[in-house]
Structure 1
Amino acid sequence: MLLNFNFFLFSTVDAQIRLIGPNLCSGRVEIFHNGVWGTVCDDSWDMNDAAVVCRQMGCGSAQSAPPAAYFGAGTGQIWLDDVLCTGSESDLSQCTHNGFGINNCGHGEDASAICTRPNNPTGETLKMLIGPNLCSGRVEVLHNGVWGTVCDDSWDMDDAAVVCRQMGCGSAQSAPPLAYFGAGTGQVWLDDVLCKGNESDLSQCTHNGYGISNCGHGEDAGVICAADGEIRLIGPNVCSGRVEVLHNGVWGTVCDNGWDMNDAAVVCRQMGCGAAQSAPPVAYFGAGTGQIWLSYVLCTGSESDLSQCTYDGYGISNCGHGEDASVICAGEKVF
């Protein structure tokens, strides 16, 4: 299933690989070398290679090894080509390859991996959110080895609360119906889901039974969860605006002290909005209200998340909202 949206990314710092895709365990394979992230060419890329990546990421077994930039083309370095793993290695660097930076590929050949998710004792009700980040998106469940969606009939905040809890994403902010995060494909596994809101797993809620549905994918259910460290842009579109971060369930702004293009680059990347075009200070998109969460943010520009940058600490600031920081990104995010 080819997904048409820009992706949020996650990384395993110790392992020095990451998957750029719709969730922690699916995406374009990138590897860290000499302080720079780069992609892997799909020449000879197969399930043995994907199995090593999935194991290294702590993401269970490999489901597929998509070639040809399935999760979008990367940029910059292509670090590895002709990777040949036996499948038993614990680290991609243990597999044979041509050597770092030696390749005859373009980014249209970037390799990917789709893994099963961890910590799923039954194999039946594992959740995945297809959207802008790990904690917001279209709800999908795994049944009989096949991913499928959930119909929005009776879908409400109680159902969303269970999904957010199960995903480790805090409280539910909304339960968008009508394929808010795009229509899925294939199976619609669940319909008429009725949760009380206190269940620990969506499988504990009542529903019609797997595959029993009168829905089309235009009715796919979504959730938006309140994950600490989440960011949003308040402005003319989803990729330009005043930067706000979520902390302890409360949205707050970022002071423009020290705010520059490196910081903006991280925000744009985290939002799936391409490169940063500018980092406007002094409440360029209007002054926020309430909390000012961050001040003196110092990013190198390579971080995948604003929370990985240095800053004074949440709520430590000598700023007013006339100093709220903003970004303008080049991309337009499409779910």
Structure 2
Amino acid sequence: VFCGDNLFTVALSLTVLICSSEISVEILHNNQWGTVCDDGWDINDAEVVCRQLRCGPVQSATGSASFGQGTGQIWMDDVACRGSESFLSECRHPGFGTHNCNHGEDAGVVCSAPTVRLVNGNTPCSGRVEILHNNQWGTVCDDGWDINDAEVVCQQLKCGPVQSATGSASFGQGTGPIWMDDVSCTGSESLLSECRHPGFGTHNCQHGEDAGVVCSGYSEISAPKPRLRLVNGNTPCSGRVEILHNNQWGTVCDDNWDINDAKVVCRQLRCGPVQSATSSAYFGQGTGPIWMDQVSCTGSESLLSECGHRGFGTHSCNHGEDAGVVCSG
């Protein structure tokens, strides 16, 4: 379940499983999924959906139930987005449940879904190369894998210039299909899938030959906000809270950890309303640095890093006090 680093599920929002590039649009309201009518549905509306789901740039906005008719409620009609909104629910519309449509008018979008990720690296810009094909993540074989191939991966992920191309499962062995073998890029391609190869799934490799890359890192322009993840939960929207700082994942101490702090985590990860804030390493003890302690959020912040705290790395805790959250998504 992957779109960026997480499954994104948000109240008054959208969800996809494995960030499919072609999706019918459904929104969660009053704990019930429903559709969006295609009256006035255009590329600006679709752009907001693709952005909210982190599924890459929009390609098209579709109507007339092009991806099949939904069931249940029709939650939104006459949607009018500028295209710059972060959430579809922020766009103008007559009100949830107000419409003059039927499910033959269900709206959809086509996004250019991200198709490459790096796994098990020490930084977000290094790791085992995995590609999404047929809605399943798989690896790339190191046969012929070189600096030109790695350059394309770094460009595609906006991770700066390439530093090295690695083989022999240097970032650990993957699982599942081996999608690409004998990759031959010139280095100028925009996507790894544009490079020459025998065909998806055609290979003579095993996972001991999984390819990897090390990129120099995000440029200043494309650098992401401080990243957050949930670890060891029963769902993608529950677990131990970990934050990325100085290219290293670390935990958050539970001193003063409360529902307002957890609310910000759930919002940042687009995981719906908070259900609970957990403490005492409820989801298991983490390793590495403890980055935040005495976190004090009002609950309205967009990012956990915007909340008051003692300073990154300043704490009086141990990993038996790691904080966690349970979100409804």
- TM-score for both structures, normalised by structure 2: 0.53
Q: Which residue of 2 aligns with 1:128?
A: 115
Q: Cα–Cα, structure 1 residues 315 and 161, in superposed 2: closer, same or farther, change >3 Å?
A: farther
Q: Distance in 1 between matches of 2:9 and 2:212?
A: 19
Instruction: Note if 1:311 corresponds to 2:308.
Output: yes
Q: Which residue of 2 aligns with 1:293?
A: 291
For the 8 Å contact 1:150–1:191, the answer to whether it is kept is no
Instruction: Note if 1:115 corresponds to 2:111.
Output: yes
Unaligned runs of 5+ in 2: 218-223
Q: Distance in 2 between matches of 1:270 and 1:223?
A: 29
Please state how far the C-alpha of 1:234 moved relative to its aligned partner: 4.0
Q: Which residue of 2 aligns with 1:43?
A: 37
Q: Which residue of 1 aligns with 2:246?
A: 248
Please show how residues 56-67 of structure 1 align to structure 2 within 5 Å: 59-62=57-60, 64=62
Equivalent AA in structure 1 for residue 257 of structure 2: W
Q: Which residue of 2 aligns with 1:139?
A: 131
Q: Which residue of 2 aligns with 1:280?
A: 278
Q: Which residue of 2 aligns with 1:13?
A: none
Equivalent AA in structure 2 for residue 52 of structure 1: N
For the 8 Å contact 1:40–1:79, the answer to whether it is kept is yes
1:145-197, CA deviations, whole angstroms, 9 ceiling, x for partnerless residues? x99987633388976785355213579995764447xx9xxxx7x5422679x
Please state how far the C-alpha of 1:114 moved relative to its aligned partner: 2.1
Q: Which residue of 2 aligns with 1:208?
A: 197
For the 8 Å contact 2:138–2:174, the answer to whether it is kept is no
Q: Cα–Cα, structure 1 residues 286 and 147, in superposed 2: closer, same or farther, change >3 Å?
A: closer
Q: Distance in 1 between matches of 2:116 and 2:57?
A: 15
Equivalent AA in structure 2 for residue 280 of structure 1: T
Q: Distance in 1 between matches of 2:41 and 2:196?
A: 38
Q: Cα–Cα, structure 1 residues 63 and 138, in superposed 2: closer, same or farther, change >3 Å?
A: farther
1:208-235, CA deviations, whole angstroms, 9 ceiling, x for partnerless residues? 26x47626xxx9x998999773334443
From 94, 100, 103, the counterpart of 1:99: 94
Q: Which residue of 2 aligns with 1:80?
A: 76
Q: Number of paired residues? A: 278
3-state DSSP of counterpart to 1:61? strand
Equivalent AA in structure 2 for residue 167 of structure 1: L
For the 8 Å contact 2:277–2:325, the answer to whether it is kept is yes
From 154, 163, 183, the counterpart of 1:193: 183
- TM-score for both structures, normalised by structure 1: 0.53
Please state how far the C-alpha of 1:252 moved relative to its aligned partner: 0.8
Please state how far the C-alpha of 1:254 moved relative to its aligned partner: 0.7
Please state how far the C-alpha of 1:243 moved relative to its aligned partner: 1.7
3-state DSSP of counterpart to 2:314? coil
For the 8 Å contact 2:132–2:138, the answer to whether it is kept is yes
From 158, 164, 167, the counterpart of 1:168: 158
Equivalent AA in structure 1 for residue 325 of structure 2: V
Q: Distance in 2 between matches of 1:212 and 1:194?
A: 13
Q: Distance in 2 between matches of 1:63 and 1:318?
A: 49
3-state DSSP of counterpart to 1:245? strand
3-state DSSP of counterpart to 2:115? strand
Q: Distance in 1 between matches of 2:64 and 2:261?
A: 32
Deviates more, 1:52-61 or 1:255-264: 52-61
Equivalent AA in structure 1 for residue 142 of structure 2: S
Equivalent AA in structure 2 for residue 208 of structure 1: H
Q: Distance in 1 between matches of 2:96 and 2:193?
A: 49
Q: Which residue of 2 aligns with 1:122?
A: none
Q: Which residue of 2 aligns with 1:124?
A: none
